[in-house]
Amino acid sequence: MNDQDETNLHNISSWFDQKPRAVLQTGVVIGGILLPIYTKYRPALLGYRWSIILPPAICLPTAVLSELVDRSKDAIAVFELPWYLFYRASEVHETFLYWFILLYLIVLRRRLKGL
């Protein structure tokens, strides 16, 4: 049993929840937002051998929405707004992270299948 009286591993300690989430969120920001924008202005990057693992531009909306939802809960807390954009913004944030990973894996599989 963990700190929320559940039997899952991710709530046992920060090493199973917060640290992996921080790594994933950093990867989504870099790979899902910054790299697609960078490759838009520097398309030569797409010609390299390792470009097959770059997240496609189709993942950009889910990455941006993920970050917007994550930032909205901070903005609501700072401005002490009486309403909430989402009842549990962390669940919506996780959903967009899952969608990002799913889209990325689908595209990666298609790319590798074409080799």
Task: Answer whether residue 103 is part of any domain.
Answer: yes
Distance from chain centroid for Cα 45: 22
Residue position matching structure tokens 């992270």: 97
| Cβ 100 vs Cβ 62: under 8 Å | yes
Chain segment 29-58, per-residue pLDDT in tens? 999 999 889 888 888 877 777 788 888 889
Task: Answer whether residue 7 is part of any domain.
Answer: no
Task: Answer whether residue 8 is part of any domain.
Answer: no
Chain segment 59-78, per-residue pLDDT in tens? 999 999 888 887 776 665 55
Task: Answer whether residue 5 is part of any domain.
Answer: no
pLDDT above 70 (res 2): no
Task: Answer whether residue 12 is part of any domain.
Answer: no
Task: Answer whether residue 93 is part of any domain.
Answer: yes
| Cβ 56 vs Cβ 100: under 8 Å | no
Confidence of residue 102 (pLDDT cuts 50, 70, 90): very high
Q: What's the number of domains the chain is made of? A: 1
Task: Answer whether residue 6 is part of any domain.
Answer: no
Which two tokens mark 113? 């299948």
Task: Answer whether residue 1 is part of any domain.
Answer: no
Domain residue limits at 103: 18-113
Is the pTM higher than 0.95? The answer reads: no
Instruction: Give the residue-averaged pLDDT of 92-109.
Output: 92
**Per-residue DSSP letter, 2:** -
Residue position matching structure tokens 């470009």: 51
Q: b vs e for 39-78, b when ≥16 Cβ sit within 10 Å of the residue's Cβ?
A: beeeeeeeeeeeeeebbbeebbebbbbbbebbebbeebee
